[in-house]
Amino acid sequence: MPTEIKSYEQYQQVTNSGKVVIIDFTATWCPPCNAIAPYFEKFSKEYSEVEFYKVDIDVDQVQGVVQELGVRAMPTFKVFKDGVKIGELLGANEKGLENLVKAAAAQA
């Protein structure tokens, strides 16, 4: 089950943890985000070597994260390892998300 990132500080800790993490930038009002969410949750159960997180772009406390990373479309998925972005996917593409997760798992 993905964990919600609720602050810029938490984002910093998560992305600099040394683990491979994938973050779903989402919004409750976004139909494509809601459509892909069950797949993101499913992959979080299947790929335990990757840590899964989500950021609700409408939460004020995470606006610094959204701005720093230049998130302009939802959903956006970003993969990090050691504080460096190593992968990204824009849009609700189930096969694309699966490929992104597989690539992330290979680097874990």
Catalogue the active-site residues. 30, 33
Task: In whole angstroms, give the CA distance from residue 94 to residue 100.
Answer: 10
For the chain, the distance separating the N- and C-terminal CA atoms, rounded to the nearest angstrom, is: 18
The edge-to-edge listing of strands for the beta sheet with 76-81 is: 3-4, 51-56, 21-26, 76-81, 84-90
**51: β partners:** 21
Q: Write phi, then psi, for 72 (nearest 5 degrees).
A: -125, -10
Cis peptide before 38 (omega within 30 of 0): no
